[in-house]
Amino acid sequence: MYFCDKVLKIEERFFPAMSAPLVPLDGQLCFSLYATSIAINRAYKPMLDAMGITYPQYLVLSTLWEGDGQTISAIADRLALESSTITPLVKRLEQAGFLARQRNPQDERQVQAFLTAKGKGLQRETACLTETLLRKSGLTVEQIMALNDQVQALRRELVSRSGNEG
């Protein structure tokens, strides 16, 4: 409780109108980001279903589109997840024919994921996701990019100040 008391005293100093410790849900940035993420996932879902992948699988594929042949741990790091979360996603993508796994010849402990022709071809199909986000949000490309820059800057600051990679 000491930490929260200290934070409240700091908030009262900078935000005197916030005398009540309860911030309404819609006034909390964490909830706004969470609810927006869910709304984006719902907008993407019909298209991802038609492609035969889930949103987490889309993120794994996006990571491989940035650089093919990454290790499971590199994919996990890029997505700020644990390797144990990535492994089942990669296995399902392999079963669906989007990628192939193989041991790293230099280090047998590492498993690399390589896109198949089907996985590479799917990248073109995912362009509809961005188009859908733009259409449904009512925002311009510039507004989406500026918002994304702000959210990324916030994440970088939170990660750097917490000392955690995630």
What is the distance of C-alpha 1 from the center of its chain? 31
> 164 in helix, strand or coil?
coil
Residue 99 backbone phi and psi in degrees, to 5: -155, 170
**pLDDT tens per residue across span 86-132:** 999 999 999 999 999 999 888 888 999 999 999 999 999 999 999 99
Which distant-in-sequence residues (6+ apart) come within 8 Å of 107 by Cβ? none
The arithmetic mean of pLDDT across residues 135-146, rounded, is 96
**Local structure of residue 82 (DSSP, 8 states):** -
Q: Name the token pair of 150.
A: 């702000």
Instruction: Return the H-helix or E-strand segment holding 112.
Output: strand 107-115
